[in-house]
Amino acid sequence: MTYYQQKEQLGTAHAFHCAKDFIDEPYFLALNGDMFFTDPLNDFIRLNRPAIAVYPVKDASRYGRLEIKNGKLISVKEKMAESVPDFINAGVYLFPREVFSWIEKTPLSPRKEYEVTDTIQMMINAGWQFTAYELKGFWRDIAYVLDIEEAQRVAGSVKTE
């Protein structure tokens, strides 16, 4: 296994772009490093086409929301103040190698970062289709100490084969 450290924290798209020289397959799995989930990804990887894992939450106000139609991602919406149930970006992606050229075109966000969601939206606008793959098990964004504690509790109860 090879690890590469993102020296400057310039956003998720920039972090994935740092792996460009290590990718020689037509598709590759990319994961955000600040979440925990229990779903196996065997079927996700077998899709062999652009895909994004999505997860249903009761309160999507903390996250960017996804507009999904017939199993395809239509758009990525920025965080909205209203508290409603919705599907959110789970931080698991199956990218084509071409994503790197799109990352290079991604502008800085208002947060002064290169956001992978902006890259994905640009690709969708250009005709790329991303499959929305629903995670069914436990998923948690690790943002608070309580999130770590809950992930540790769940990890301790997961059975491995």
Q: What is the pLDDT along the chain (161 residues), one digit of tens a residue?
A: 677 778 888 999 999 999 999 999 999 999 998 899 999 999 999 998 999 999 999 988 888 778 999 999 999 876 667 777 889 999 999 999 999 999 999 999 988 999 999 999 999 999 999 999 999 999 988 877 887 888 888 887 766 55
147 within 8 A of 62, measured Cβ to Cβ: no
The pTM score is 0.89
> Distance of alpha carbon 93 from its chain centroid, rounded?
5
Q: Which of 96, 101, 102 minimizes the C-alpha distance to 130?
A: 96
CA atoms within 13 A on the CB side of 28: 15
C-alpha torsion 38→147→66→7, nearest 10: -90
137 within 8 A of 37, measured Cβ to Cβ: yes
Under CATH, what is the fold of the domain 25-155? Spore Coat Polysaccharide Biosynthesis Protein SpsA; Chain A (3.90.550)
> Distance of alpha carbon 80 from its chain centroid, rounded?
18
| Residue boundaries of the structural domains of the chain | 25-155
